[in-house]
Amino acid sequence: MKNLTRSLGFSQFIKGEYFVRRNYTICLLTAFLSTLSTSVLATPEGGSVSVIEVRPYINGDIYFSVNSSTFCNTNTFAISADAPARKEMHSVVLSALLTSKKIRVEALTATGCNGWGTKVQSIYLQAQ
């Protein structure tokens, strides 16, 4: 009976260790793949800039200029007329212009940086 108990205990230990190793491998693989997918889906994002000009256009697009052209090789960005949050982004840009607060611009994931008039995905309004 002792041998049976020992062998059963050892067998359960081996199975448990295998189970832990398998789960550990799955966790590592999942972590690696999630890191890979976020780096592929990451969008370009610029540094802190000041808004110097805002220009609503007749087609509904809103163009705004910032004080630096280091991000996307341009200082003029566009908020698309069909963007669901265009009113909110427009108000952020106007707020930054009127209060001299800094913003950070994120380029649209689908298009990335396109130089002049790069479409914007989000705008961060910063306290200073």
Written as tens digits, the pLDDT of the chain (128 aa) is 555 445 555 555 555 554 555 565 665 555 555 544 444 456 789 999 999 999 999 999 999 999 999 999 999 999 999 999 999 999 999 999 999 999 999 999 999 999 999 999 999 999 87
How much is the pLDDT for 118?
96
Tell me how many domains the chain contains.
2
Instruction: Please indicate, yes or no, whether residues 77 and 109 belong to a single structural domain of this protein.
Output: yes
Label residue 2 left, alpha or beta by phi (over 0 means left) and psi (-120 to 50 means alpha).
Answer: alpha
Instruction: Please indicate, yes or no, whether residues 60 and 31 belong to a single structural domain of this protein.
Output: no
Instruction: Please indicate, yes or no, whether residues 54 and 33 belong to a single structural domain of this protein.
Output: no
Instruction: Please indicate, yes or no, whether residues 94 and 33 belong to a single structural domain of this protein.
Output: no
How much is the pLDDT for 75?
97
Instruction: Please indicate, yes or no, whether residues 71 and 38 belong to a single structural domain of this protein.
Output: no
Label residue 48 left, alpha or beta by phi (over 0 means left) and psi (-120 to 50 means alpha).
Answer: beta
The residue ranges of DSSP E strands in the chain, in sequence order, are 49-56, 62-66, 76-79, 102-107, 118-125
How much is the pLDDT for 3?
54
Domain with 100 in it: 49-125
- Please give the distance of CA 42 from its chain centroid, rounded to a whole number: 5
Instruction: Please indicate, yes or no, whether residues 119 and 79 belong to a single structural domain of this protein.
Output: yes
**Three-class secondary structure of residue 55 per DSSP:** strand
Among 42, 60, 75, the domain boundary falls at: 42
Q: Beta-carbon neighbour count of residue 105 at 10 Å?
A: 24
